[in-house]
Structure 1
Amino acid sequence: MNPAFLKKIKRNDRIAKWVITVGGMAIIFSVIFILILIAKVALPLFGSSEIRLVADFQVSGDTDPAKVMAVGIDEYRETGYAIDKTGTARFFNLKNGATLDSFQLNRDSAATQPVAVDTYGRLNHVLLWNDGSLTVEEVKFFPFFDEQNGNKRSIHHKIVHLADFPAPADGLPQTSLARVNEDGRRVRVDLRRDGTLQLVMVEEQESLLGATEEVEKTYQLDNDAAGKITALTMNTAGTKLFAGTDQGEILRWNLEDIDEPVLEETTRAFADNRKITALAMVYGGVSLAVGDSAGHLTTWFTVRDPDNGWKLTRIHNLKGHSGPIRRIIPTLHDKSVISYADDGIQISHMTSERFLGAIKHPQTISDFALSVRGDGLIGLTRQGHMAVWSLHIPHPEISLKTLFGKVWYEGYPAPDYVWQSSSGTDDYEAKLSLTPLIFGTLKGTFYAMLFALPLAIFGAIYTSQFARPKFKGIIKPAVEVMAAVPTVIIGFLAALWLAPLIERSLGSMFLSLILIPAALMVSIAIWQAARKIEPLKRVERGYEFLAVAPVLIMTVAFAAVLGSGLEHWLFNGNLKQWLFSEAGIRYDPRNCIIIAFAMGFAVIPIIFTIAEDSLSNVPPSLKAASLALGASRWQTVWRVILPSASPGIFAGTMIGFGRAVGETMIVLMATGNTAIMDWSIFNGMRPLSANIAVEIPEAPVDGSLYRTLFLSAVILFLMTFVVNTVAEIVRQRLRAKYGRF
């Protein structure tokens, strides 16, 4: 051979080797880069909180730290204020501590001074005055842009008077609470010196003539507790009241009905009767945070008891303190709570039960408040220092438990796996469990493979080992063309044509599942006797489908005709209703039956093609040797061909499995997208891929939902990676066992 030609061939081989190597490595690095990219977005979900001291200064001389009763901070962390025992609200600059201005809150007389201040909601302060009267004041901050000064922003503030409550006849109460809602409903609760509770409710009611008048009613609240009340709290709407006692009891009243406030429950919270020292309603007004004398911090909400109605139940145990908890305040944007004891301030999230951080100061903190956005906290020390902390807690509701474990959510009867990324209100409890999505992915894949795998493998066996070459030349390209059908078309047809068809013919479908195997077995038995006839022998060699096809068509037609009649006879014409009433199974029109057919249709071409190639590539000598030894064609296929081709068949099966796991459009269009954990074939599901497609357009960038969706993409990537890795390991072992493949 010409040396120059040989040299050219070797050079081309080297070039091809380098091109293939570089291309393969580029693909590997691209896949790794994609994984790193999506993992980088998801990783901050598990980051720690950042709590940073941004200001620390001595308060001005006109503010006596010993007289300060409440502090506050604006949402921009630029202006703070303090309300003292003289009834004065002083505002100051948080950068340098300079006093900005002050407001006098005592309206009737300068001699009237506040003795207690209770803060709730968005900077609402309830002032109990020394004559027993109550006032509710709201501090408002708003930005102002001065166009004459280069559109420079400044923070303005004002105090809005919301309500007045006159002094009770029996003098100054021990503790008082008050709430004012948007409808003008005003509620006041007093804990008297003798330990009894008095309720005053004022509502605006419309008379028969159309005029609006205020109706005021006073009640003595029922109290069957064994101990003395040591803590009180009320929701922002003034419809729920809770009290804790020194014997570890919690009392719950319903104040929603102005005509009949009801003591709904008295429960012993702790078996050792330890004193309840602090109570607070968690954001949303459903859960109750409880602090006790042992430093334990727990959260409770009502759960339906089949025997006793709604019962207050301890749900979450949060990180506690070393001593009695003196105060609890909720955040105003999520389910986090801030607890205060002698060992400092701690932040925990109720749902995830995560400890988010601790706030400490060299001096003892006497009072503190949280900004409305929850990103800043102001504290006043007993020595007169005002300190401001910046809080960066990006994803407090995320933990391994909330992502993959059972969580007891508000309003649920028991812990459960739940995905609910949004709600109609801002105070809902985020439910971002990935477990039902992973379950939905595996469920849809299982039913799709249950339908596709037998058809694909048996079809490949028949096409490669039994069919005539001419027939094989038609069937194999036709099946491979199926893979080119867009999945959106398959999903569209499954949702709008197949799902209604199966719903109308549910009885016929189940009947066909019984009749088709039976008809095939009967037809095979008949064929064994009829095959001795000479003309039929020609049909047997490669054209068996000509005998099977009419049987299948007639059986399906018979089931379609007979199914509706049997449904009317056995199930009163409504099989779906019978399934629900008798078996407790709810039929969803877009269910796993639809997924099995639709996604199976998309997976069959991949498995069929790889399996058929593997079967066809088995050396003919193996087949000839088996037949020469007297084995039948089926024995040869079962004992010789299938074991030799098993590595390729298994690889095709795993590739089909990975294809089903990552399928998006079919499951998005053909299922109900309900994130439930139920193996029933009559229900739908929500897989990871469809969930990403549904949720990502509405997910706020860098929010918890956004990053959780990227985490689900990482999980989906790892699932396919694990499947492919296991497939390759098994394939290599099968190849080593059976030699060639």
Structure 2
Amino acid sequence: MNPAFLKKVKRNDRIAKWVITVGGMAIIFSVVFILILIAEVSLPLFLAPDKVLRAEFQLEHKTAEDKILALGVDEYLETGYRLDQTGKVSFFNVADGSPLDTLEVLSESGSRRLITAQTYGRLNHMLVWDDGSVTIEQVKFFPFFDEKNDNVRSIRHRIERLATFAAPSSGLPVETMARVSTDGRQVRVDLFRSGEFQVTIAEEEETLFGAGDLIQKTHQLELGEAGDVTAMTLSTDGLRLYAGTSQGEILRWDLGDIEEPVLEETTQAFTDQREITALNMVFGDVSLIVGDDQGGVSTWFPVRDAEVGWKLTRIHELQGHTQAVQSVSPSPHDKSVISFAADGIKISHMTSERFLVGIDGAEKIVDFAQSTRGNGVITLSDHGTVQSWKLDIPHPEVSLKTLFGKVWYEGYPEPTWAWQSSAGTDDYEPKLSLTPLIFGTLKGTFYAMLFAVPLAIFGAIYTSQFARPKFKGIIKPAVEVMAAIPTVIIGFLAALWLAPLIERSLGSMFLSLILVPAALMLSIVLWQGARKATALKRVERGYEFLVIAPVIVMAVAIAAVLGPGLESWLFGGDLKQWLFNETGTRYDPRNCIIIAFAMGFAVIPIIFTIAEDSLSNVPPSLKAASLALGASRWQTVWRVILPSASPGIFAGTMIGFGRAVGETMIVLMATGNTAIMDLSIFNGMRPLSANIAVEIPEAPVDGSLYRTLFLSAVILFVMTFIVNTVAEIVRQRLRAKYGRF
């Protein structure tokens, strides 16, 4: 051979070797890089929260008469303020404590001395004056850009009065609480030294011409045999009143009816009758925060009970204190809970039950305030030292439990897995459980494979072992062309054509599942006698489909004709309603039946092609030897061909499984995308891939939802990796057992 030609061949071999090696390594690197990229985005979900001390300064000396009653800070952590007993609101720079300006608030009677002040909501302050009157003031901040000063951002502030309550006629109470709703409804609750509760409700009368006169009603609330009231709280809208007692009881009133407040429940919260020392409402006014004299912090909300109706139930147990809880307050931004005791401040998230951060300064903390964004806290010590803390808590609602475990959400009767990434209000409780999405992925894949695998494998067996070469040359390319059909087209047809068709003929479909196998079995029995004819024996030589196809068509046609009548006779004309009445199963028009047909149709070409190639590549000598020993064609296929081709068939099935797991467009269009965990074939589901496609356009970048969706992608990647790894291990073992084929 020409030495120059050999040299050229060797050079080309070396080039091909390096090109293939570099290409293969590039593919591996790309796959690993994609995994690292999506894992990096999702990793911050599990990072520990942090706090940073931004500033520390000393307030100017205050006399006992000028005791500080409340603190506050703007959402930018730039301007803070303090409210003292004289009604002065002094604003200061959070960075260094330098004073800015001072505003004053007065009662309606002109009183200048406050007894107590309570902060709630977004910088709302309920002020109790020494004459017994109450006002609700809101501090508002307004950022603006000064064009005369190079558009430097500054913050203006003012105080706006939201409501005024006159002093009670029966004397000064020992504790007072008041709220005003957005529609102007005012509620005041007074606890007197005698232990009596007095509720005053004022709201505008509804008339045909709009709002009328202000109606005011006063009611005395009965405590019954409950212990002394040690804590109480009102919901932000003033519709619900809670009281805690020295004997560990919680009383709940409904104040929605101005004519008659209703004591809905008295619950023994703690069996050891520990004293309840603090109450407040979680952001959203559904859950109640309870602090006790043993340092415990828990959250409660009403749960429907079949016997007693709505019953207040302890749902979450949060990080507690070593000493009695002095106060509890909600974050104005999310479902986080702030508890305060002598050992400092602790912030936990209600839903995830995660302890987030704790603040315990060198000096004893006497008061604190959190920014409305929940990203900072300022504290005041007993020596007048103010500390400003920057909080880094990006994903408080995320934990392994909320992602994969059962969680008891607000308004739910029991712990459950749920996915609900958004709602109509800002105070909703995020539900980011990936369990129903993983379940939906596996459920859809299972039903699709249940439909696709038998058809693909039996089709491959017939095409490779029984069909004529000419017929095989038509069938195999036709099935392979099916893989080129865009999945969006399959999903479109499944959603708009197949789903309504099956819904209209549900009885016929189930009848066909009985008639088609029965017709095939009957035709096989009849064929055993008819095949003795010489003319019919030719059909068994690759033309069996000429007999099978008419039988299947006839069985389906009979099912279509008899189905409506059978449904009317057995199920009262409505099979869907019968399923609901008798089994409690709802029929979703876009369900797993549709997914089985649609996604199975997309998966069949992959499994069929690989299985057919594996079956066709079994050496003809093995088949010839089996037939020579007297085995029938089917015995040869079952005992010789299938075991030899099993590694390839299994590999094709696993590749089809991976294809179904990652399918997006079909399940996105052909299912209801409901994240439920139900094995019923009549319900839909929401798989991970479709969830990513649905949610990612609306997910705020770097938010909890955004990162959770990337975590979903990591889980999909891991699922595919596991499937492929298991498939390769099984394939290698089958190959070692049955030879290189």
Gaps of 5+ in 1: none
Alignment of 1:365-514 (within 5 A): 365-514=365-514
SS in 1 for 2:325: coil
For the 8 Å contact 1:298–1:315, the answer to whether it is kept is yes
Per the alignment, residue 358 of structure 1 pairs with 358
Per the alignment, residue 524 of structure 2 pairs with 524
Per the alignment, residue 278 of structure 2 pairs with 278
Per the alignment, residue 626 of structure 2 pairs with 626
Distance 2:377 2:2 in 1: 86
Deviation at 1:207? Answer: 4.5
Deviation at 1:308? Answer: 0.2
SS in 1 for 2:313: strand
For the 8 Å contact 2:456–2:608, the answer to whether it is kept is yes
Distance 2:695 2:397 in 1: 18
For the 8 Å contact 2:107–2:129, the answer to whether it is kept is no
Per the alignment, residue 154 of structure 1 pairs with 154
For the 8 Å contact 1:65–1:381, the answer to whether it is kept is no
| Shift in alpha-carbon separation, 1:651–1:108, aligned structure 2, 3 A | closer
Deviation track 1:184-222 (CA, whole Å, cap 9, x = no partner) reads 111100011111110011111144676621111100012
Distance 1:495 1:730 in 2: 37
| Shift in alpha-carbon separation, 1:678–1:173, aligned structure 2, 3 A | same
Per the alignment, residue 184 of structure 1 pairs with 184
SS in 2 for 1:495: helix
For the 8 Å contact 1:92–1:100, the answer to whether it is kept is yes
Distance 1:33 1:210 in 2: 64
Deviation at 1:43? Answer: 0.6
For the 8 Å contact 2:614–2:648, the answer to whether it is kept is yes
For the 8 Å contact 2:111–2:130, the answer to whether it is kept is no
Distance 2:79 2:320 in 1: 31
Per the alignment, residue 220 of structure 1 pairs with 220
Deviation track 1:261-312 (CA, whole Å, cap 9, x = no partner) reads 1110000000000000111100000000101011111000000000000000
In structure 1, give the amino acid aligned to 2:312: L
Deviation at 1:96? Answer: 2.1
Per the alignment, residue 252 of structure 1 pairs with 252
For the 8 Å contact 1:65–1:380, the answer to whether it is kept is no
Per the alignment, residue 542 of structure 1 pairs with 542
In structure 1, give the amino acid aligned to 2:466: F
Deviation at 1:77? Answer: 1.0
Per the alignment, residue 290 of structure 1 pairs with 290
For the 8 Å contact 1:71–1:369, the answer to whether it is kept is yes
Deviation at 1:170? Answer: 2.4
SS in 2 for 1:622: helix
Equivalent residues, number: 741
Per the alignment, residue 119 of structure 1 pairs with 119
Deviation at 1:437? Answer: 0.3
Distance 1:632 1:242 in 2: 82
For the 8 Å contact 1:142–1:156, the answer to whether it is kept is yes
For the 8 Å contact 2:338–2:346, the answer to whether it is kept is yes
In structure 1, give the amino acid aligned to 2:406: K
| Shift in alpha-carbon separation, 1:207–1:556, aligned structure 2, 3 A | closer
Q: Is the aligned partner of 1:52 residue 2:52?
A: yes
Larger CA deviation: 381-390 vs 56-65 = 56-65
SS in 1 for 2:132: coil
For the 8 Å contact 1:224–1:266, the answer to whether it is kept is no
Distance 1:96 1:388 in 2: 10
Q: Is the aligned partner of 1:242 residue 2:242?
A: yes
Alignment of 1:562-581 (within 5 A): 562-581=562-581
RMSD: 1.3
Deviation at 1:226? Answer: 2.6
Deviation track 1:531-583 (CA, whole Å, cap 9, x = no partner) reads 11000011111111111111111111111111111111111211111111112
In structure 2, give the amino acid aligned to 1:642: L
For the 8 Å contact 1:586–1:683, the answer to whether it is kept is yes
In structure 2, give the amino acid aligned to 1:470: K
Deviation at 1:4? Answer: 2.2
Gaps of 5+ in 2: none
Deviation at 1:144? Answer: 2.4
For the 8 Å contact 1:65–1:384, the answer to whether it is kept is no
Per the alignment, residue 585 of structure 1 pairs with 585
Distance 1:412 1:731 in 2: 46
Q: Is the aligned partner of 1:266 residue 2:266?
A: yes
SS in 2 for 1:326: strand
Distance 2:66 2:355 in 1: 31
Per the alignment, residue 702 of structure 1 pairs with 702
Deviation track 1:404-443 (CA, whole Å, cap 9, x = no partner) reads 0000000000000000011011100000100000000000
Larger CA deviation: 731-740 vs 126-135 = 126-135
Distance 2:303 2:553 in 1: 55
Larger CA deviation: 149-158 vs 410-419 = 149-158
For the 8 Å contact 1:113–1:130, the answer to whether it is kept is yes
Deviation track 1:652-677 (CA, whole Å, cap 9, x = no partner) reads 00000000000000000000100000
SS in 2 for 1:388: strand
| Shift in alpha-carbon separation, 1:70–1:655, aligned structure 2, 3 A | same
TM-score (norm 2): 0.99
Per the alignment, residue 714 of structure 1 pairs with 714
Deviation track 1:371-425 (CA, whole Å, cap 9, x = no partner) reads 1111111111000111111111100000000000000000000000000011011
Larger CA deviation: 103-112 vs 475-484 = 103-112
Deviation at 1:738? Answer: 0.9
| Shift in alpha-carbon separation, 1:376–1:64, aligned structure 2, 3 A | farther
Larger CA deviation: 422-431 vs 566-575 = 566-575
In structure 2, give the amino acid aligned to 1:283: F
Larger CA deviation: 389-398 vs 101-110 = 101-110
| Shift in alpha-carbon separation, 1:209–1:620, aligned structure 2, 3 A | closer
Deviation track 1:577-630 (CA, whole Å, cap 9, x = no partner) reads 111111211101100000000000000000000000000000111111111111
Distance 1:209 1:314 in 2: 45
SS in 2 for 1:77: coil
4+ residue runs of structure 1 moved beyond 4 angstroms? 62-66, 108-112, 207-211
Distance 1:139 1:161 in 2: 9
In structure 2, give the amino acid aligned to 1:675: A
Deviation at 1:64? Answer: 6.3
For the 8 Å contact 2:66–2:85, the answer to whether it is kept is no
Per the alignment, residue 560 of structure 1 pairs with 560
In structure 2, give the amino acid aligned to 1:716: L
Q: Is the aligned partner of 1:675 residue 2:681?
A: no
Distance 2:95 2:484 in 1: 66
